[in-house]
Each structure stands twice: as structure tokens, then as C-alpha cells.
Amino acid sequence: MLMTHSRMRLEKSENLTTLIGIIIFLVFWLNIATFPEFFFFSPIENSDALRRVELVFSTIGWILMSIVVPLILYLYSHGRRQILVLLPFTAAVWPVSLIIAQLTTYIQTGSFYIEYLRNFPIFIFTDIATPIIVFVVWYDLKDARLKENVFPSLDELINE
């Protein structure tokens, strides 16, 4: 059977998804182990109501990015093709929560808090590069699957 160019590209992309998921998982959890006070805290203890909401949103975001995104990539590369539909939603919460927190910090204090990127460059990977990588992978896999006409609709995913 002759493979089309888009099918070969899809298979190569599938082979990388597990590796990318493992790298995301490891880097996030090594970062979490290095800076546990940044990730493990009680958002409810904050006196500012807006900040409490942001911290809960951020906590959900890093859990999704550090556990659920790698799991989706793993499951996808092992045949669960329908799960790809969830990837952009789970990957978006973390960077959106960071943007909202930065905007709130700016509104409340008059300046952004981005020094942490200079002081701790690993956050450039987790906060900027990882979401970009995940969206590029998602777009590439989605595009290849659309060309092969094997991408399920959301209705098909729900009814499965």
C-alpha cells in the first residue's frame, strides 16, 4: 500500500507526541519540585477575592498542562485519536491564567511581574514555550488528520 505524503507526515508527528508529552511532564514536575511554594499553596487564604479566583484558575491550569496535556499526547500516540479534540482547551488554561494574573498585577500595581522569567529562565519554557509547542503539535496533527479525513467531530467524540 502506497502511503500519501500527508499520512507519512501524520505518522512522524504521532511518533513525536509521546516524547513531547514526556518532556512536558518531566520539565513541569522538575520545576514544581524546585519551586513547590509557587505551585502548592491554598488560593483561598489570599485576602484579595480577585487574586483568589486567579490563583484557583492558575492551579487548574498548571495541573492541566503538567498532567492532562502529556496524557492526551500519550493517548493520542497510542491510538486514541479522538482525544486530540481536547488538547487546545486543556493547553490554553495555563497561559490564559498567567496572562490574566499579569494584567491584574499591572492594573493593581502599575507594573507587570515578569522579572521571574529573567530570574528563573526555566519558566520561559513552562510559561511560554510549552503552550506554543503544544498548539503547534495540535495544529500539525489536526491538519494531517483533516487531510486524511479521519478527524472526528465533537459529536462523534461525545457519542463514542
pLDDT 10s digits, 86-126: 999 999 999 999 999 899 889 888 888 889 999 999 999 99
pLDDT value of position 79: 85
Low-confidence stretches of the chain (pLDDT < 50) are 1
Nine-digit cell at 139? 495544529
Cα separation, 73 vs 68, in Å, equals: 9
pTM of the full structure: 0.79
